[in-house]
């Protein structure tokens, strides 16, 4: 007797489960979350807080707002940021002032923790949303964030 009731139970629960899967089988496009990457590259919109890689925005005069304070370098847990800096004499005040020579960012070591962007007092660095970072040679992952010939925007103080 229990043999037959077990068969009955088995078929019943099987059909219950299949009613769930069958519903999705018939409405397969509804509620689908699969994205047709990379075909949807043109329309793919990442969330604006998404942490892809650290970049330093420059304005049209090739100026950024990094003062070379090294707070991001200190905040970084794994040494992904190196600041090479120098002191120059400010023409107006005659005082010595710190400027950056190179803001070096090792994307290959970065854990995308966000501490550097959070630590920067002048919002000189921010997150870019691109995530396609594969390269043929890992040296290409080391980037100099300040563009050649750029300088710090006037009025940004340490």
Partner 1 sequence: METATLNNTSPKSNFKSEEYFINMGPQHPATHGVLRLLLTIDGEIIKKVEPDLGYIHRSIEKMCEKDSYQQIVHLTDRMDYLSSHINNEAVCLAVENALELEVPERVQVIRTILGELTRLSSHMLWWGVMGMDVGALTTYFYGFRDREMINDIFEETCGARLTMNYNIPGGLMHDIHPNFVKRVKEFIAHFKTKLPEYDRLLTGNVIFQKRTKGVGILSKEDAINFGASGPVARASGYSCDVRKYHPYSALDKVNFKEALDTAGDSFARYTVRIREMWESLSIIEQLIDNIPEGEHKVATNAVIKLPKGDFYQKVETARGELGVYIISTGTKNPHRVKFRSPGLSNLSLLNHIAVGGKIGDLVATMATIDIVVPDIDR
Token pair of 143, please? 């980037």
Provide the mask over 73-102, with x wherever binding to partner 1 is found by CB under 8 A and - wherever it is not: --x-x-------------------------
Nearest by Cα to 92 from 149, 155, 147, 148: 155
| Distance, CA of 141 to CA of 134 (rounded, Å) | 9
- Give, in degrees to the nearest 5, the angle at Cα 56 between 78 and 97: 90
Q: Which does 72 bind (CB under 5 to 8 A by kind): ligand SF4, partner 1, none?
A: ligand SF4
CB of 31 to ligand SF4, least distance (A): 35
Give the residue with the Cβ less far from partner 1, 29 or 95.
29
- Interface residues with ligand SF4 (CB under 6 A) are 54, 66-72, 75-78, 80-81, 83, 110-116, 119-120, 122, 124-125
Task: State yes or no: residue 118 binds partner 1 (CB under 8 A).
Answer: yes
Instruction: Judge contact between 105 and 145, C-beta under 8 A.
Output: yes
């Amino acid at each position: 007797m229990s043999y037959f009731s077990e068969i009955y139970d088995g078929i019943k629960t099987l059909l219950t489960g299949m009613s769930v899967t069958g519903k999705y089988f018939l409405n397969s496009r509804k509620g689908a979350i699969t994205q047709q990457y990379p075909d949807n590259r043109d329309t793919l919109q990442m969330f604006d807080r998404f942490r892809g890689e650290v970049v330093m925005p420059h304005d049209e005069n090739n100026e950024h707002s990094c003062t070379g304070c090294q707070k991001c370098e200190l905040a970084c847990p794994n040494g992904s940021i190196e600041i090479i800096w120098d002191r120059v004499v400010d023409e107006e005040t005659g005082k010595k002032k710190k400027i950056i020579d190179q803001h070096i960012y090792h994307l290959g070591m970065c854990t995308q923790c966000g501490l550097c962007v959070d630590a920067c007092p002048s919002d000189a660095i921010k997150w870019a949303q691109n995530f396609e970072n594969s390269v043929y040679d890992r040296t290409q992952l080391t980037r100099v964030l300040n563009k050649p010939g750029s300088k710090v925007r006037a009025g940004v103080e340490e």
